[in-house]
Structure 1
Amino acid sequence: MVIPNSHIQSVKEILHHLPYTTTHLPGVGGEIKAAPEHFQVEEILPYAPCGEGEHLFVTLRRAGWNTADVAAALARCFGLKSMEVGWGGRKDKQAVTTQTFSLHLSMSTPMDRIEATLTELPFTILSVQRHRNKLKTGHVARNRFRILITQTAPGAIDAATAIAEAIRHNGIPNFYGEQRFGIEKANIDRAMQLVERQRPARGKQEAFLVSVIQSALFNIWLTERIGRNQYHQILAGDVAQKTDTGGLFVVDDVDEAMERFGRGAIVYTGPIFGPKMMAAGHPAAEFEAQVLNRFDLDLDTFKRLRAPGARRQAVLRVDDLTVRSEQNGLELAFTLPPGAYATMITREFMRPAG
C-alpha cells in the first residue's frame, strides 16, 4: 500500500489551518512559554493514595523535563525497570509541571532512605505516599492550568474577557494540539510510513504513531463539521456521550438530544477510527466515512494496525475559565479533562488583535 504524497500534504494543510470559534471577536496577540513559569500545569488524580502497598506515589514539581525523562530518572535512582514506574499522562516539557509517579518499591525499603534518594534529583518533591496499585495511563481526573500570555496588545483585558465569555458559553472544538503531530508535523510522515507497511504496530512508539493518524483524522472530521455549520448541532445518528456517567448512545430523537446538549447533559462525539469504535448511525456515519474515503483508508486499516478505536468528545466545555490582567500580560486559569489540550484554549486568545 502506498500513501500518495498529495494525501499527506492535504492532511498537514488542514491541520495547519484549524478553525477558530471566536473569530467574531478581536484577539489579543502575544506569546506563551516565554519562560517555563509562564505555563503551569497541575495534575489532579481521581483518587488519593491509601497509605499502604508496594507502590510509592511520588508527587513532584519540575521544569524543563518531559514525563518520560522524569520517569527514567526515577527508575535509575532506585534501580527499577521502566515498567516499574507509572504515570497517568504525558505533560509539557516547557512548563512548570506538578505530577505524580508511582514506583514499585518493596515495603521493606526504609522511607528515610527513599526520601534521601529523592533529594538527589533536580525536582521539588511535594509528597511521598504508598498505594496498593501502580499508577497507569489514564489515571488522571483533570489538569489545572495557569498560563501567562505575554506581549499582548494594548487594552487586551477587554478583548480577552469577551473571548473567555464566549468560550464559557459555547465551549471550543476539542482538537488535538499541534504538539501531537511534531515539529513541522513530521509525525504525520512517520505515521503514514507505518500504514504503508500494512503490519501491526509494535511497541509504544509505533502505537503512538497510529494514534497520530487517528488524531489527525479526528481533527479533519471536526474541521469539516464546523465547515458545514454543524458545530452547535446534533445530527441524527451522532454518537453522544452523557456528561455525568460517560455513557454512549446513538441519537435517534434529534430534538430531545438538542435540548440535552443545550443544557450540557450530553455532548456529541467524533471518531477515533478503529474496528471496535462505537458506530454512528445515518446520516452522521456517512460524514465519518467520507473522511476515511478521502484518504483511501478504511476500518480494516486500523484493524491491521491493531488499533481498536474509540469516541472522543467533540466539544470541550471550559466552565471555570478566568482571565485577569497581569503586569506583563494576561493570565488564564482553567481546568481540562485528560486528553484535552490547553493550547487549543490559548490559540483562541492569541489571534492577531483587531
Structure 2
Amino acid sequence: MNQSPYPLERELGMRYYASDAEGIGGRLRSVPGDFRVEEIPLPEKGGTSGPYLICTLTKTNWELQHAVKEIAKRLGISHRRIGWAGTKDRNAVTSQRISIYNVTAGQVAGVRLKDILLEPFGNANEALSLGDLKGNRFDLVIREPDTPDPGERIQEITETVRDGVPNYYGLQRFGAIRPVTHKVGKWILRGDFEQAVLTYIGLAYPAETDTVKAIRSEFYQSRDPAPALRSLPVQMNYERAMLHHLHVHAGDYSGALRELPPKLLSMFVSAFQSYLFNCALSLRFDEGYGLSDPVPGDRLLFANGRTDTATTSNLAAVSLHIRRGRCSIALFMPGREKMDPKTEGGRVMEELLAEYSITPEDFGHASAFVHTKFEGAWRPIALKTEIESALEGSSVRLKFTLPPGHYATTVCREFMKADPVRMI
C-alpha cells in the first residue's frame, strides 16, 4: 500500500492507497454533469396510500439541506416534514427519493425551482430515513488526466478496486470547502457547545474568499456576533441564524446550535464517528495489516448479515472466506454501545476515544441533545465494486454501483491519486 502525500487527506485519516499504480491525475466535477448519482430505492417504499408523499428529487448543483428548505418554503411547510434516505453531493446531478408529510401531488406540481425537478412517485405510511436505500449508481467523468495514455493505469487500478480498497469516508463527509464537520462533532460530544459554535462559524479555510476568512477569524477571536452578522453574505444562512441567536441571547451557544436543522446537527456527530473510523483503518495499515489480512480478534461481517470473530485456530479458513468475498473484516464505529476491547477493532477504537477524552456516555449525551441515536456499528474495512471504465477523447468515464454509506470519491482517489481539492 502507498501513503497519500496530501496534508488534507492525512488530516482526515485517509492516509493510504491500496494500489501501487501511479494515478492518472485529472479533475473530477469540472461541471456538475461530470458527477451523476442515481439512488437505488428500496422497493417497498412508495405505495398507493399513506400520509407521506414519496417524490423523486433530481437536482443540479444544489446542497440537499438548502434544496429541502427551498422546497418547503414553496410548499408553505416546515422543512422538518421532509425526509430522505441519503445525502447526495452538491456539485453534481443527483436523483433520489424524498418523503413529504401531508402534501398532495398537486401541491408538489406547483413547485418551481431552478435546476430542481420534483416528481411524485407514490405514498407511504412512514417517512424516509437515512439508510432507507439499496445503494447508489455513479456515472463519473475525470477530465484532463496527467498522462496522455492512462489506459494501462486504469486497468491496473480497476483490478485493485475489484479486489478492495480502503473503505474510507470521503472528503464530502467532513465538508468539501471547509472540512470542519467532524471537529464540530467532537466538541458536541465533549459538551463544549461554545467551541462547537466557534468552530462552525469562526474556523476559516483557504478555499474561502479573503473577506469571509477575515469575518470568521474576527468572530473566533472576539466572540462578538454583531460584526459578523452585519458582514456575512446573506446566502450563509446557517451561520447567520446562529449569530442572530447569539446576538439576542448572549452566551447561549447550545441554543445557537439548535438553530441548525436537526439532520445537520446529527451529521456533526456522525462525521466524528467517520473520522475515527478513517483513523483506525489507517492505524491498522501502520501496523502492517492489509485489507485481507485477518488477525485474532478481528470482527467479521458476512454477506448474509452473520458476524463472527477471527481466532488463532480459524485464521486460514477466514482468509479463504475473505478472498472469496464471503465476508469482510470490520472496524467498530463508536457510539453509546459499549465496545469490546477484546476485538482488534474495539481495542484500536478504545485507544482513539481515550486520546480525545470521549466515552460511550458522551455519545448518549449527544443523542439527547441532537435527538438522534448514536448506537455504534461495525463497518467493513474494504470497499469492492466492479468498474466499467472507458476513454472518451482525453477524458475517463467510470461507472459503478456502491452500497449505502460508501463513497464514490474513495474509488476516484485510487484512480486519480491527486490533490483532493481536484475531486470537489
Distance 1:132 1:296 in 2: 42
Distance 2:88 2:157 in 1: 26
Residue 312, structure 1, aligned to residue 306, structure 2: no
1:115, distance to aligned residue in structure 2 (A): 5.5
Residue 251, structure 1, aligned to residue 305, structure 2: no
Show the counterpart of 1:42: 38
Distance 1:315 1:148 in 2: 24
Distance 2:64 2:8 in 1: 28
Show the counterpart of 2:198: none
Q: Quickly say closer, same or farther: Cα 1:327–1:162, change in 2 above 3 A.
A: same
2:135–2:402 Cα contact (<8 Å) kept: yes
Bigger shift: 248-257 or 265-274? 248-257
Aligned match for 2:57, one of 56, 60, 74: 60
Give the letter for the 1:279 counterpart: D
Show structure 2 runs of 5+ residues with no match: 1-6, 194-253, 368-373, 419-424
Secondary structure of 2:100's aligned partner: strand
Distance 2:344 2:101 in 1: 49
Residue 187, structure 1, aligned to residue 181, structure 2: yes
Aligned match for 1:178, one of 171, 186, 207: 171
Show the counterpart of 2:220: none
Show structure 1 runs of 5+ residues with no match: 1-9
1:60, distance to aligned residue in structure 2 (A): 2.8
Give the letter for the 2:302 counterpart: K
Show the counterpart of 2:28: 32
1:38–1:95 Cα contact (<8 Å) kept: yes
1:71–1:101 Cα contact (<8 Å) kept: no
Instruction: Map 1:71-220 to 2 at 5 A.
Output: 71-105=68-102, 109=104, 111=105, 113-114=106-107, 116-118=109-111, 122-152=115-145, 153-168=147-162, 170-182=163-175, 183-197=177-191, 203-220=262-279
2:148–2:394 Cα contact (<8 Å) kept: no
Show the counterpart of 1:335: 401
Bigger shift: 48-57 or 234-243? 48-57
Bigger shift: 274-283 or 147-156? 274-283
Q: Deviations over 1:231-255 (max 9, x none)?
A: 22112222211113x2333333322
Percent same amino acid among aligned pairs? 27
1:301, distance to aligned residue in structure 2 (A): 3.7
Distance 2:108 2:348 in 1: 55
Name the count of aligned residue pairs. 335
Residue 233, structure 1, aligned to residue 233, structure 2: no
TM-score, scaled relative to structure 2: 0.72
Show the counterpart of 1:326: 392
1:250–1:281 Cα contact (<8 Å) kept: no
Report the aligned-residue RMSD. 2.7
2:138–2:400 Cα contact (<8 Å) kept: yes
Q: Deviations over 1:304-348 (max 9, x none)?
A: 434332211111111x21110012400011111111111111011
Q: Quickly say closer, same or farther: Cα 1:11–1:39, change in 2 above 3 A.
A: closer
Show the counterpart of 2:422: none
Distance 1:312 1:296 in 2: 23
Show the counterpart of 2:354: 293
Q: Quickly say closer, same or farther: Cα 1:71–1:282, change in 2 above 3 A.
A: closer
Distance 1:295 1:60 in 2: 39
Q: Deviations over 1:270-312 (max 9, x none)?
A: 1211231563535554333333334444434434434332211
1:132, distance to aligned residue in structure 2 (A): 2.9
Distance 2:92 2:409 in 1: 12
Bigger shift: 173-182 or 13-22? 13-22
1:32–1:150 Cα contact (<8 Å) kept: yes
TM-score, scaled relative to structure 1: 0.85
Distance 1:11 1:308 in 2: 29
Distance 2:391 2:53 in 1: 40
Secondary structure of 1:288's aligned partner: helix
